[in-house]
């Protein structure tokens, strides 16, 4: 165990030195800075898993935990394809430095939002009018507009909702948070105990008055 979390070895190789990656603008994700971001481990490079050709419904909770709690990059050495029209390619620093919720698909040369990929529901967000598209149901690969698009995606209500679900899932997996059923059961147990504590003095008072009245009658 590492800091209460499972050491990830199932789909990933040892962490490599990524100090050669260029730094970029400091971008703070208002959704993940105090939630999912705290649970994401350092970069682990994907060996077998490729989000672009995987059926999310076929993944068990262990694999889901591995995918959500790591920063997914292809196993080195990997040459990222360059767009002919714009002479641009995917930048690993987008995942390592800026947007930990991204996952790169080598088979598609595209990226997905991991929380949305796992937890989105069609018609989510405010009044159910936001329908996920690129980054969710299909990969995103417009590298010229990448960072702008990633920032806009972070503001979507469905992204925020999915990040909350992903954070909760990881906390439950790590034993930091109880699952919903256990939470409800614990809350019910707590309420019963509180109700008993509240009513006990009343019952004691009633019993005392009854005893006093009986004693009075006997004496009269």
* Mean pLDDT computed over 34-49: 49
Provide the token pair at 57: 């419904």
Beta bridge partners of 74: 46
Neighbours of 145 (CB within 10 A): 12
The residue ranking higher by pLDDT, 32 or 144, is 144
The whole-angstrom separation of Cα 43 and Cα 82 is 23
Predicted pLDDT at 35: 45
User: Strand, helix or coil at 207?
Assistant: helix
* Cα angle: 69, vertex 55, 155; to 5 degrees: 55
Three-state secondary-structure class, residue 101: coil
3-state secondary structure of 97: helix
- Asked if the model's pLDDT at residue 11 lies above 50, the reply is no
pLDDT band of 113, cuts 50, 70, 90 = very high
- Tens of pLDDT, residue by residue over 128-181, are 566 677 899 899 999 999 999 999 999 998 899 999 999 988 888 877 655 455
> Measuring CA to CA, which residue among 5, 6, 30, 21 is closest to residue 73?
21
Structure tokens at 141: 């690969």
The larger pLDDT score, comparing residue 95 to residue 175, is at 95
Q: Taking Cα atoms as reference points, which of 122, 117, 120 lies closest to residue 68?
A: 117
- For residues 118 and 63, is the Cβ–Cβ distance under 8 A? no
pLDDT of residue 46: 52
């Amino acid at each position: 165990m590492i800091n209460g979390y499972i050491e990830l070895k199932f789909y990933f190789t040892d962490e490599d030195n990524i100090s050669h990656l260029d730094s970029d603008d400091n971008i703070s994700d208002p959704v993940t800075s105090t939630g999912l971001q705290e649970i994401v481990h350092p970069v682990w490079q994907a060996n077998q898993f490729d989000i672009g050709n995987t059926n999310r419904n076929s993944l068990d909770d262990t694999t889901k935990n591995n995918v959500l709690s790591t920063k997914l990059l292809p196993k080195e050495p990997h040459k990222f394809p360059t767009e002919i029209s714009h002479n641009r390619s995917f930048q690993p620093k987008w995942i390592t430095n800026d947007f930990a919720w991204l996952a790169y698909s080598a088979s598609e040369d595209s990226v997905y939002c991991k929380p949305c990929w796992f937890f989105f529901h069609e018609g989510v967000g405010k009044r159910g009018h936001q329908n996920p598209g690129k980054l969710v149901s299909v990969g995103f690969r417009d590298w010229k507009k990448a960072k702008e698009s990633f920032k806009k995606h972070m503001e979507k209500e469905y992204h925020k909702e999915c990040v909350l679900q992903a954070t909760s899932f990881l906390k439950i997996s790590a034993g930091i948070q109880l699952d919903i059923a256990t939470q409800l059961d614990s809350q019910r147990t707590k309420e019963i105990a509180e109700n008993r504590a509240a009513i006990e003095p009343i019952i004691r008072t009633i019993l005392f008055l009854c005893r006093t009245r009986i004693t009075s009658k006997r004496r009269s």
